[in-house]
Amino acid sequence: MTRDEIIASAIKFVAGSPGNYVSEEAAVESGLVGMQIYEAPIFAFGAADDEIYAKYKDAGVIGSHFMTPAEWLAGVETVISFFLPFTDRIKNTNALNNEWPCDEWLHGRYEGQIFLQDLSLHIQKQLCDAGYECIIPSLETRFKIIDKSIPNWSERHAAFTCGLGTFGLSKGLITEKGMCGRFGSLLTNLKLESDIRSYTEVYEYCTMCGACIPRCPVNAISKGNKVSSLCAAFLSKVHEKHTPRYGCGKCQVNVPCQSGIPGR
């Protein structure tokens, strides 16, 4: 399989799959039936032996529990990272206030994550059917989240390493399609050409404008830091209010990095 074949198949799957549209059974209200969740995905391919993965084991980054691609899959060659951008309807509706996430965003976060897994499994099946090994770290039984927030595999860090984007003040990742959406990744022993990162710094795409700071409902973001515990506590409240759905995304909307790289 080639990079182009993987990308083309994924784009076709996203456009035609019923899972990318809110079903009548899932919709929290009738006006959301049929709402499209994601636009076409964007991809980046990276070398599994990139030295950055070892640095993620540092205590100041992720931690020693982080597993490198080689620890997930023996003989791994390539990390495939993708970003599914939310549709304008989801982004624009969530930008209307700074309080609770809108129903559109909640569907994007919950049903959208289910569909992201469907897409990951679709890509995995294609690679396995072609005779290659392929795993999805986030769906492996070995995948763990330490202290409720620190995973042993990070979709955002994989995306940064592969070249999809850089971090912002809110700790989300800014891509050419912005920050609003969801990331996924796969590991395979198929060797594919790696993308060249167009950046060298962790926050290179972020202008540090601070627009996301007043957007946060619980004041978790500042110019110097993000207090993850405040963010997590608010997400827990959202989950209590909207079970099984959850999410927020206020810091990702009505900001310069909502749908692209600021200044570009």
Whether 174 shows a pLDDT value over 90: the answer reads yes
Q: Please write the tens of the pLDDT for every residue from 233-256.
A: 999 999 999 999 999 999 999 999
User: How confident is the prediction for the chain on average, in pLDDT?
Assistant: 95
pTM of the model: 0.95
Q: Say what the pLDDT of residue 3 is.
A: 97
Per residue in 20-35, pLDDT (tens digit) is 999 999 999 999 999 9
The span from the CA of 144 to the CA of 150, in Å, is 8
Q: Closest by alpha carbon to 185, among 105, 109, 84? A: 84
Between 115-119, 212-216, 260-264, the lowest mean confidence (pLDDT) is in 260-264
Omega cis (within 30) before 262? no
The pLDDT confidence band at residue 148, using thresholds 50, 70 and 90, is low
Confidence category of residue 223, pLDDT binned at 50, 70, 90? confident
96 Cβ contact list (under 8 Å, min separation 6):
102
